[in-house]
Chain A
Amino acid sequence: MTLGVRLRGEAADLAALQTLARALPELVSARWVEVSAGDQRILASPEIAEDAAETLRQSGLDVIRLTRRENDLVLRDFGEDDAAPSPLPGAHTRNAQHLLEALRPLPVDRPRPPAEALFVMSAHGDAPRHVLERVLLLGRDDVTVAEWLARDERLFVVRADRPPHYLLMRAHEEPDEGVRAYARAAPGLWVEWGFAHPLAAIAGEVVRERGRDALVDRDGRWREIDERWPSRSVYDALKPELPAARVRLTPAPDETRFSVRLRLAPGPPSEPELWLLSPEQLLRLESLVDSAPRDDLGSLTLARLLHPDDGPVYLLRERPRAGRRRLGLRISELCEAEGFSHTDGADNLYLPVGSRLLPAMRRDELKELLGLDTARAAVLRDRGDGPEVITVPAVDEEPLDRFVDYIATDRRVELDRLLEDAVFHFPGVVVNRPKKVDAVRPQRDAPEKKPRRSFADLFKRGREVDANELEDEQTTETEVLPSLDEQAALRAEARALEQRAAEGGVTVEKAWYELAVLKELLEEVDDACASLEAALLFAEEGRDVERARTLASWRARLAPHRGADDDILQLALEEDLTPTDATLLGARALVALLGGEPLPDGVLPVLVRTFSRPALPVSRRLAWLVLWACHQTTSDKLGLTRAKEALIGQLNDRGLNETWDLPRFIRYALALDDDSDASGERNRLEQLDALDRLWELASSDLRELEPLSAYKRLLFAVGYARAGATGQARELARPVEDELPAHDRPNRELFRLYLARLAHAQSDDDDDAFHADVEQILVSIGDDRARRAVDWLRKRSPWLRAAEHEPPAPWLRPQLQRALEAAERDPKKASATVRRALEEREHFDYEVAQAVVRGVRAVMRTGNDALIDDVVDAAAGGLRRIGVLGHRALAIGCCIEAAAATGDLGTVHRLLDGIIEIARAPRTPSVRDLLRAVRPALLALRRLGAAGSADHFLHALVPLTESHQKDRAPLAAALADGFLQLGDRGAAADLIDRASEASRDAQLEYGARYDGAAAVLDTLRHWPTAERAERGAELLRDLDAFNDTFTVRVWFPTHKLLVIERLVDTVVDVITFSSDRVRAYLDADELALRRRIAHDWSEL
C-alpha cells in the first residue's frame, strides 16, 4: 500500500506540488512512482507516512491510497477507507528518484526556437547521418558533436547554437525518426523542445548541485550526464567518401615551349624621342640648331655609333623636360628619319612611333629576348625584309649643344667636321669669338699676339700669373683658344681642385687662387670670382691689391651694364642692390681700400652699413673682406669688433647661405661627380635598378582584387614615375584602374588619390595642384565612414597629406612673455631674464625651457661672445631645475649651439654630459625629446670641428639603444645618422642594421615597430641609392611584421602601406643625399670663416 497525490492535468497541479514541497520538504528527495492510466495521473511514494498524508490532505491536496489487487492497481481516497476502491486498468508506472523527476513536462503551444539545442539520437542507424547532412547543407558547420554512453546504447549528440528551426520541428513532429531535440530550460536542465518542465528552475538547481546536466524527454524520462562533457567539431565526426575513380597527374618531364613570332603592329600615337641618323640626316639638323633656343637644344643628346652594315650612325635622343616644348616631331620631319619612342613595360626598348609589339609579353621575357638592361637600350625597327633589333651600348651621350659652337661668321665646314667627329676625339679648331658687348669698356689697342700658354703648366712651375696679363687676354678680340685636348686637361685640373675644395674647409690661399685662374680660363667667371674672394680671405701674407683689382675686373665683366665710371659712392647709395651690383661694389671697395685710394667723404660709413646688412646678396666672405678692409684702413678696432659681432651674429642666426656662400661649382661638385646630365642619368638608372629589385620582391605575392596588391602597384608606380620611367609606372597602375570598381569605397577613393599623385609625378606639377585635386576627391566622397577611412590614411601618408604647418609658439605667462620680448629687443637683458626664469619657482618647465631658448637666440644674433657666454653661463648652471627631461633636453641643445658658436669647447662638453645624464636617467625621456638635444649637439660639434668629441658623444649614447626597448630602433637610426655625418660608415652601418632588425622585432608593439621602420627609412635617405635598396629590401621581406589592429584594417593595412610608401620615397629621393653634402660643406666653410674672422680681428 502506497500513499500518493492525484493530479488533474491542469495548471493547479503545479500549485498542489508546490504545496507538497512546502508542507513536507523531505518528500521532494524521496523516491516516487508516476502512475498513469487513461487521463488519470498519480504521483505516489512509499515514503509518505499516514500522518504526512493527513497533513497533505489538510493542505487541500487530493491524497489517495494506492494498493495492488491481483495484477491491477486500485486506489481509494485517503481517509475514506470504507469507500469502494477504483481500479486502474492498464496503468503504467514509472519510477523516479525524486519528485522533480516524477513530473512529466507539459506541451507548449507554438514553441519558439531556443538559443541553444541538443539533438540526441542513437549513434547507430541513419539518424546521425541524416542530421549531419542537413546541418551541413544548411551551412551550419559551427555545430559541435559528442557521443555519450547510456546504459545499453551509444548516443550521438549534436549541439547547436541558434539551432535550425526545421530540425527542431522535425524532431518534435517526427519522433519515429529517433531524433530528440532538447532546449535548455534552466542551467543544468535540458527539456525536449516543444515541452516545458513545471519546475524547471528548481530541477536545474538540483542537478547542478550534483555537478550534472539532465535531459528530460516528453515522457518525463530523465537522463543525466556530467556537467562538462567533451564535444568536438562536426568535421571530426565525418568520414567523407567520394566513390570516384582516382587518376593522379604527374609533372611532365619537359616543358613544352611554343614559338611565337613577335611583330610590330600599329599602336597608340606617341611622340618620337630617339632617332638613328645617318651623317646626312644629322646635317639636316642645322636649321633646327640655327633657330631653336639653346635651352631647348639642351634636351637633346647625341652619340656616334657604328652599325656593322651602314657605317656611322648617330644616336639622337630627346630627354623631355618639364615645361620645355618637345622637338620630336620637328626633328623627324627635318631629318626625314624614323623616330622611335620607348614602349610601355620596357623603358629601354624603343619602337617606331605609333607602333607596338605583338603579342604583348611580360617585361622579364622581353628583357631576356632583346637583351635589355638598365644600361643598354634596344631599338626595334622594321627594315622591310624583317625586323631588326639594334642594341645600343651604354655610351656617353653628350648634350647636342656641346657639339655646337656659336660663331660669328659662317664656318659651316668646320662645324660640319666638328659634328662628324665629335664624340671620339676633339680636334683643335680656331674659331672667331664674338666681340664682348661691353660698349662702355675702354678699348685698348690690340697688343701683340702672344703664344697661348698652359696655365696649368705655369702653376706647376710655381709661377704667378700677372693680373694685367690676364686682363689683356680677356680683351683680346681674336685669340687662339687652347685646343680641345688642352681644354679638357685644364678642366680635369680644375675638377681636381674643385673636388678638394668640395671636401670642405680648404683654407689654402694658393689652391683657391689656382682654381680662380683656371676657372677664368675656362670662361667660368662667376666661379672664378668666388674662388678669388676665397683666396683673398685666406691670404697668408697680407691681402694683395692686385688680386682685388683682378676680382673687380672679373666682376665688371659680369656687370656689362655698369660703366667703369660708376663710382663707389653711387653704387653704395643705391637701394636694393642686385647681386651683380653688390659683388661689384664689394670688389671695387676692396681695390680702393687695399690700394689706399682716397674715398669720397661719407663712403666708408655707407660701405660699413651696407656690408653689415644680413640681407645683402653677397657672400659672407666678401662682406667680411670689405668690413675688415674698411676698419683696417682706419685702424678702428672698435669698429672691427662691431663688424665681427655683426657677421658672427648673422652666422649664429642663420649660418651660411646656400645661395650666396656656396660657389656654383662646389654645388655641382658635391651633387655630381661628373657633368650634370650624365650624373642625373646615372642617378635615374640607379633608382630604377633599385626600384626594379624592390618591385621584384614586392610583386612576388600579388593577387587580383586584393587591396594590398593594388596599393603596392600604385606606390611603386609613383616611384617609377618620379624616377622618370613613366611607361613602367603606367603599366603598374593599369590593373588597378581596371579593377577599381570592384574594390570597397575607401580603397577606391584612396586609389584615386594615389593615381592623382601618380599623374602629378608624371607631369611634374607642384604640390599645390596635387592638393587641390585631393581636396576635390575628398569632397566627392559622400559616405562618412569611407571619408573617415580615407582621411585616416591621408593624414599619415607623406605623399597624400598637405604640408605640415609650424606649431604655434607655446603660451607663456604675460610677465615672462614681456620680459623675453624686452630681452629680444635688448639682448643685454637676456642673461638676467634667463637667470630669473630659472630661479622663479612658479614657472612651468616648458616656460623655463622657452625662456632659455629665446634668451640664447637673442644673444646669438648679436655675435657678441661675451653676451653669449653670459647667457649660456646663466642657463647652464640652472638647467637641472627643469624637471621634465624633454624640456631640459631642448634647453641643453640650444645652449650647446651657443657655446659652440663662441668656441667654448669646455662648456659644450659639460652640456653634452648633461644630455648623456638625461639619456641614462631612470625616468628616460622619449627618444624624440632626446633627439631635440642630440641633433643640435652634433651640429655644433661638427661646426666646432670637434669630430673626436662628437664621436665620443655618440658612442656614449650607443648603449642606450639596448635599454630603450620601445624606441631603440628610432634611436639607433638617429645615431647611425650622426655617425654617417661624421664619416664613420662602419659604425653607421652597424647601427642602421640594428635599427632595421629592432623595427621587425615581434616583441615590440606594432606602433613601435612602424616608428622604427620609418626612422630607418628616413635615415637611409642619407645613404647611397644601392644601400638604401638593399636595406629597404629587408623591411620589404618582413612586411608582415608591420601589422596593426586599426579599425580600418578591414580595408587596408595602414602600416604596411606606409612602410612601402616611405621605402619607395626613400629610394627615389635624390635631394637629401646631395643636400647632406652641401650642408657638410657649408658647416666646414662656416668654421673656416669664423676662424678667419677671429684671426683678422685679433691681428688688428
Chain B
Amino acid sequence: MTTWTMEELEPEIDAVRTRLLAHQRELKRYFVGRDLEIDLMLTAAAAQEPLLFVGPPGTAKSDLVVKFTESLGLTDEDYFEYMLTKFTEPSEILGPIDIDLLKQGRFVRRTQGKLPEARVAFLDEIFKSNSAILNTLLTILNERKYYQDGMPVPVNLAVLFAATNDIPEQSELEAMSDRFVLKIETRPVKDTHFTELVDAGLRNESFKATGRRPWADGSASFDDLLKMKRYMDLTFASGKGASADREHFFPPAVFAEMRRVVRTLESEDKVFVSDRKLVKLYRLIRTHAFLNHGGAVDTPDLMLLAYSGNRRQELPVVQEKVRTLLGA
C-alpha cells in the first residue's frame, strides 16, 4: 500500500527513520569499506531514484545490491538481476511474448520474474545494452510503466541499481546516463582494508556455504522505504506556495551554497546539470537530510552533490571539488 496519508505517516515516521538508520548501520557490518555506497543506496532507495555503480569487476557491486534487497525482507520474486549485452533482447528483461495471446492478435508479455514485476532490480553493464533495451528502460525509469499490447502498464519497480565499468560518451547513451542522478565509483579496498577484507570475505563464504543470511533480519522493511518516499512526497506537496518546502526545509544560506556549488561545477568543471537533474538533486538532498537527522537541510547534506558527475573521468574530480568547496 502506497497511499498512506500524512495523518497516518506522521506519528510513525520518526520510528521509520530510526529503523532505516539502524538498518543502514547493520548492513555496513557485512561489508568492508563500503559505508558510502550503503549510505547512497539507502538515500536513493528512499527517494526511489536509480543509483549507478561505476567500477571494475570484483568491487562488491552485485553483493551490495543482493544483500540490500535481502535485508529488506524481499524475496527472489521481488528482485530482478540481469547482465546486459548488446545482444540482450527486450524479452529477456520484460518477459517473453505470450504465444497463445499472440495467436489471438495480442502482443502481451509474460512478465513473471522479470523487471516489471520486481520491486528492486540490478542491471549490470547497463551501457552495453542496445537501443531497444535502452528505450524500454527509459520509459520505465521516467514513467514507471511499460507497454502491454499497446497499453501502458505500471511497473512494480521501486528501486533500480545499475553497474558499469565505464560510462560511454555516445550521445544516444547520454539520456540514460542523465537519469542516474547519483553515480558512485566503487574501488577496490584491499589496499586500505587488507585484513578486514580477508576476515569478512571468509565469513561471507561461510554464510554462503551454510545457507545462513543474517543480514536478512534487518531492522527495516521494504515498506519502511515506501513510507519514507510517501512521506517525503506528501511533505513536498504540503505548505502554501511553490517555495514552501524550500523556505521551510532549506535555509537560504545552505540553498545559496548549493547554487554556488552547482554553478561552480558547471562553469569550472563543465559538469552538465540538467533542469531535471537539479530538481532530483533537491529531492535527494532533502530526503537525505530528513533520513539522517530528521530536519532541515544542513551544509553537510550537500555532499550528495559530490556524486552528480556525468562522465567517467568527472566522477573523482567532482567528488574532490565538492568536498573542497564545502570544506568537508
- Asked if chains A and B come from one complex, the reply is yes
Q: Is A809 an interface residue (CB 8 A)?
A: no
Answer whether A173 and B260 are a contact pair too, CB < 8 Å, given A138-B324, A166-B325.
Answer: yes
Judge whether A169 and B260 touch: CB under 8 Å.
yes
Q: Is A178 an interface residue (CB 8 A)?
A: no
Answer whether A166 and B264 are a contact pair too, CB < 8 Å, given A137-B324, A138-B324.
Answer: yes
Q: How far is the CA of A252 from the CA of B259 in the complex (A)?
A: 57
B259 CB contacts on chain A under 8 angstroms:
169
Q: How far is the CA of A1075 from the CA of B20 in the complex (A)?
A: 90
Q: Which of B253-312 contact A (CB under 8 A)?
A: 253, 256, 259-261, 263-264, 267-268
B261 CB contacts on chain A under 8 angstroms:
166
A173 CB contacts on chain B under 8 angstroms:
256, 260
Judge whether A165 and B263 touch: CB under 8 Å.
yes
Minimal Cβ-Cβ distance residue in B for A138: B324
- How close is A838's CB to chain B, nearest CB, in angstroms? 73
Q: How far is the CA of A652 from the CA of B260 in the complex (A)?
A: 89
Judge whether A164 and B264 touch: CB under 8 Å.
yes
Judge whether A165 and B267 touch: CB under 8 Å.
yes
Judge whether B324 and A169 touch: CB under 8 Å.
no
A174 CB contacts on chain B under 8 angstroms:
253, 256
A113 CB contacts on chain B under 8 angstroms:
267-268
Judge whether A169 and B263 touch: CB under 8 Å.
yes
Q: Mark A161-177, 1 if CB is under 8 A from B, else 0.
A: 00011100110011000
Answer whether A164 and B268 are a contact pair too, CB < 8 Å, given A137-B324, A138-B324.
Answer: yes
Q: Which of B128-145 contact A (CB under 8 A)?
A: none
Q: Mark B312-328, 1 if CB is under 8 A from A, else 0.
A: 00000000010011010
Q: How far is the CA of A873 from the CA of B191 in the complex (A)?
A: 86
Q: How far is the CA of A538 from the CA of B268 in the complex (A)?
A: 93
- How close is A900's CB to chain B, nearest CB, in angstroms? 73
Q: How far is the CA of A173 from the CA of B259 in the complex (A)?
A: 11
Q: Which of A152-208 contact B (CB under 8 A)?
A: 164-166, 169-170, 173-174
Q: How far is the CA of A170 from the CA of B327 in the complex (A)?
A: 14
Minimal Cβ-Cβ distance residue in B for A137: B324
Q: How far is the CA of A112 from the CA of B264 in the complex (A)?
A: 11
Minimal Cβ-Cβ distance residue in A for B252: A173
Main secondary structure of the interface of A (DSSP, over half): helix
Which of A112, A137, A170 touches B260 (beta carbons < 8 Å)? A170
Q: How far is the CA of A165 from the CA of B271 in the complex (A)?
A: 14
Q: Which of B13-34 contact A (CB under 8 A)?
A: none
Listed residue (A138, A165, A173) with the most chain B CB atoms within 10 angstroms of its CB: A165
Minimal Cβ-Cβ distance residue in B for A170: B260
Q: How far is the CA of A112 from the CA of B267 in the complex (A)?
A: 9
Q: How far is the CA of A169 from the CA of B260 in the complex (A)?
A: 6
B321 CB contacts on chain A under 8 angstroms:
138
Q: How far is the CA of A807 from the CA of B327 in the complex (A)?
A: 69
Main secondary structure of the interface of B (DSSP, over half): helix
Q: How far is the CA of A138 from the CA of B317 in the complex (A)?
A: 11
Q: How far is the CA of A166 from the CA of B268 in the complex (A)?
A: 9
A138 CB contacts on chain B under 8 angstroms:
321, 324-325
Q: How far is the CA of A542 from the CA of B327 in the complex (A)?
A: 109
Q: How far is the CA of A138 from the CA of B323 in the complex (A)?
A: 10
A164 CB contacts on chain B under 8 angstroms:
264, 268
Which of A134, A137, A165 touches B268 (beta carbons < 8 Å)? A165
- How close is B234's CB to chain A, nearest CB, in angstroms? 32
Q: Mark B230-264, 1 if CB is under 8 A from A, else 0.
A: 00000000000000000000000100100111011
Minimal Cβ-Cβ distance residue in B for A133: B327
- How close is B290's CB to chain A, nearest CB, in angstroms? 26
Minimal Cβ-Cβ distance residue in A for B259: A169
Listed residue (B261, B264, B321) with the most chain A CB atoms within 10 angstroms of its CB: B264
Q: Which of A393-411 contact B (CB under 8 A)?
A: none
A137 CB contacts on chain B under 8 angstroms:
324, 327
- How close is B326's CB to chain A, nearest CB, in angstroms? 10
Minimal Cβ-Cβ distance residue in A for B256: A173
Q: Which of A118-141 contact B (CB under 8 A)?
A: 134, 137-138
B264 CB contacts on chain A under 8 angstroms:
164-166, 169
Listed residue (B260, B261, B268) with the most chain A CB atoms within 10 angstroms of its CB: B260
- How close is A178's CB to chain B, nearest CB, in angstroms? 15
A112 CB contacts on chain B under 8 angstroms:
267
Q: Mark A656-670, 1 if CB is under 8 A from B, else 0.
A: 000000000000000
A134 CB contacts on chain B under 8 angstroms:
324-325, 327
Q: How far is the CA of A927 from the CA of B253 in the complex (A)?
A: 77
Listed residue (B253, B321, B325) with the most chain A CB atoms within 10 angstroms of its CB: B325
B260 CB contacts on chain A under 8 angstroms:
165-166, 169-170, 173
Minimal Cβ-Cβ distance residue in A for B321: A138
Q: Which of A250-279 contact B (CB under 8 A)?
A: none
Q: How far is the CA of A166 from the CA of B324 in the complex (A)?
A: 11
A169 CB contacts on chain B under 8 angstroms:
259-260, 263-264
Q: How far is the CA of A170 from the CA of B260 in the complex (A)?
A: 7
Q: How far is the CA of A797 from the CA of B82 in the complex (A)?
A: 57
- How close is B49's CB to chain A, nearest CB, in angstroms? 26
- How close is A370's CB to chain B, nearest CB, in angstroms? 39
Q: How far is the CA of A857 from the CA of B253 in the complex (A)?
A: 96
B268 CB contacts on chain A under 8 angstroms:
113, 164-165
Listed residue (A112, A134, A137) with the most chain B CB atoms within 10 angstroms of its CB: A137
- How close is A801's CB to chain B, nearest CB, in angstroms? 40
Listed residue (A137, A166, A173) with the most chain B CB atoms within 10 angstroms of its CB: A166
- How close is A127's CB to chain B, nearest CB, in angstroms? 15
- How close is B254's CB to chain A, nearest CB, in angstroms? 12
Q: How far is the CA of A134 from the CA of B257 in the complex (A)?
A: 14
- How close is B292's CB to chain A, nearest CB, in angstroms? 25
Q: How far is the CA of A174 from the CA of B264 in the complex (A)?
A: 16
- How close is A174's CB to chain B, nearest CB, in angstroms? 7
A170 CB contacts on chain B under 8 angstroms:
260
A166 CB contacts on chain B under 8 angstroms:
260-261, 263-264, 325
Q: Which of B155-170 contact A (CB under 8 A)?
A: none
- How close is A140's CB to chain B, nearest CB, in angstroms? 10
Q: How far is the CA of A169 from the CA of B253 in the complex (A)?
A: 12
Q: Which of B192-209 contact A (CB under 8 A)?
A: none
Minimal Cβ-Cβ distance residue in A for B266: A165
- How close is B320's CB to chain A, nearest CB, in angstroms? 9
Q: How far is the CA of A174 from the CA of B268 in the complex (A)?
A: 20
Q: How far is the CA of A113 from the CA of B265 in the complex (A)?
A: 13
- How close is B115's CB to chain A, nearest CB, in angstroms? 41
Q: How far is the CA of A169 from the CA of B256 in the complex (A)?
A: 9
- How close is A942's CB to chain B, nearest CB, in angstroms? 69
- How close is B305's CB to chain A, nearest CB, in angstroms? 12
Q: Which of A933-962 contact B (CB under 8 A)?
A: none
Q: How far is the CA of A49 from the CA of B288 in the complex (A)?
A: 67
Q: How far is the CA of A165 from the CA of B265 in the complex (A)?
A: 9
Q: How far is the CA of A113 from the CA of B268 in the complex (A)?
A: 9
Q: How far is the CA of A174 from the CA of B263 in the complex (A)?
A: 16
- How close is B76's CB to chain A, nearest CB, in angstroms? 44
Q: How far is the CA of A170 from the CA of B261 in the complex (A)?
A: 10
- How close is B259's CB to chain A, nearest CB, in angstroms? 8
Query: Can you report 29 residue pairs joining A to B where beta carbons are below 8 Å apart?
Result: A112-B267, A113-B267, A113-B268, A134-B325, A134-B327, A137-B324, A137-B327, A138-B321, A138-B324, A138-B325, A164-B264, A164-B268, A165-B260, A165-B263, A165-B264, A165-B267, A166-B260, A166-B261, A166-B263, A166-B325, A169-B259, A169-B260, A169-B263, A169-B264, A170-B260, A173-B256, A173-B260, A174-B253, A174-B256
Which positions in A face B, CB cutoff 8 Å? 112-113, 134, 137-138, 164-166, 169-170, 173-174
Question: Contacts A134-B324, A165-B264 given; 20 further ones with Cβ under 8 A?
Answer: A112-B267, A134-B325, A134-B327, A137-B324, A138-B324, A138-B325, A165-B260, A165-B263, A165-B267, A165-B268, A166-B260, A166-B264, A166-B325, A169-B260, A169-B263, A169-B264, A170-B260, A173-B260, A174-B253, A174-B256
Which positions in B face A, CB cutoff 8 Å? 253, 256, 259-261, 263-264, 267-268, 321, 324-325, 327
Q: What 6 pairs across the A-B complex have the smallest Cβ distances? A: A166-B264, A169-B260, A137-B324, A165-B264, A165-B267, A173-B256
